[in-house]
Amino acid sequence: MTDITSAPNRIDAFAVARVIARVRDWAPRVHCITNTVAQNFTANVLAAIGAVPSMTVHADEVASLVESADGVLINLGTLDPERRAGIEAAVQAARANGKAWVLDPVKVDRVPLRRAFALTLIKQAPAIVRGNSGEMTALFPAIAAATGTAFAVTGARDSLSDGTRTVLVDNGHPMLARMVATGCALSGLIAACRAVESDSLLAAAAATVAWGVAAERAAIGVAGPGSFAVRVIDEIGAMDTPTLERHALISRG
C-alpha cells in the first residue's frame, strides 16, 4: 500500500477505500447531464455503488435537482440545444449553491464548437475534469491554468493531478475499451466520490481505482463485451474495503 502524500492528505488504497465506503453509507444524490448513449449505464453504475442518480436535462427542472443534489456531472456527449441549455442552468445552479461539479469533455478534440463550450465551462471552476488523452490534450492549457481544478487523464494508465500532487493508477482492463459509456460511467463515479470527499484528487483516485478493480474482476472468464457490461455493474455493487486494499495499484507520478 503506497502513500502518495503524507497524512492527512495521503492517497493510498486505504484512503480510496474509505471514500467508497462513505459513498455507500451516505448515498449521495448525483445529478447527471450526460449523453443519450450513456444515461442508462451511468445510472445503473451509480445505483450499484450506492448513490442516487437523477438524469433530467430540461433547463426548467435542472436547477431544482442540482440544488437538492450532493454532486453534479456535466458530460458533453450528444450536445444538442436542450442539453446545452440544461448544462448552462446546471452549472449556474451548482455555483450558486456551492455544489462541486465534474466535467467530462467528450470529443472536444474532434468538435471545435464543443471544445469552445468546454473552455467556457472550465472558467466556471469544475472540481474535476476527466477525459481521455486526446480530449485532455485539447483542453490542457485551460485546465492547467484553472485554480482548484483537479484533472484525470484516463486510459491504459490513468494519470491524475491537482497541479501539486500527481497519482498514477494502473487498475483496469482492455475490455473497457470494447464497449461504450465506460468513461462516462467513471465520470459519474467521480462525481459521487466528490460528493462525499472534499479532496478532489482523492475523490477522483477513489472512483478510478474502484472502476479499474471492478473491470479487472468482471473480465475474469467473461464471454465478451455484453456480459462484461453486466458483470462490471455487479462488481461495482460488490466493491468493498478489503477488495480495494488488496487490488489497488496506485503510485506517485
Q: Any idea what the CATH number is for the domain that residue 32 is in?
A: 3.40.1190.20
In the prediction, which pLDDT does 8 show?
54
- Strand 128-131 relative to strand 101-104, pairing: parallel
Chain mean position to CA 120: 20
In the prediction, which pLDDT does 252 show?
87
Give the C-alpha distances (Å, rounded to integers) separating 196 from 16, 90, 137, 217, 251: 12, 19, 29, 25, 23
User: In the chain, how many domains are there?
Assistant: 1
Q: Do the domain assignments include residue 6?
A: no
Which pTM was predicted? 0.96
Strand order in 166-169's β-sheet? 52-54, 29-33, 71-75, 101-104, 128-131, 150-153, 158-161, 166-169, 250-252
User: Which residue from 54, 62, 53, 119 is spatially nearest to 86, judged by alpha carbons?
Assistant: 62
Domain that holds residue 121: 26-167+176-204
In the prediction, which pLDDT does 176 show?
96
Are the beta carbons of 127 and 100 closer than 8 angstroms?
yes
Q: Do the domain assignments include residue 94?
A: yes
Beta-carbon contacts of residue 233 (< 8 Å; ≥ 6 apart): 41, 44, 45, 48
Q: Do the domain assignments include residue 228?
A: no
Q: Do the domain assignments include residue 98?
A: yes
Q: Do the domain assignments include residue 234?
A: no
How far, in Å, CA of 44 to CA of 185, rounded? 9
- Strand 250-252 relative to strand 166-169, pairing: antiparallel
| Residues of the chain scoring pLDDT < 70 | 1-8
Q: Do the domain assignments include residue 4?
A: no
User: Which residue from 48, 1, 57 is spatially nearest to 27, judged by alpha carbons?
Assistant: 48
Q: For residue 236, what is its C-alpha cell?
A: 461495482
Q: Do the domain assignments include residue 1?
A: no
Q: Do the domain assignments include residue 15?
A: no
Length of the chain (residues):
253
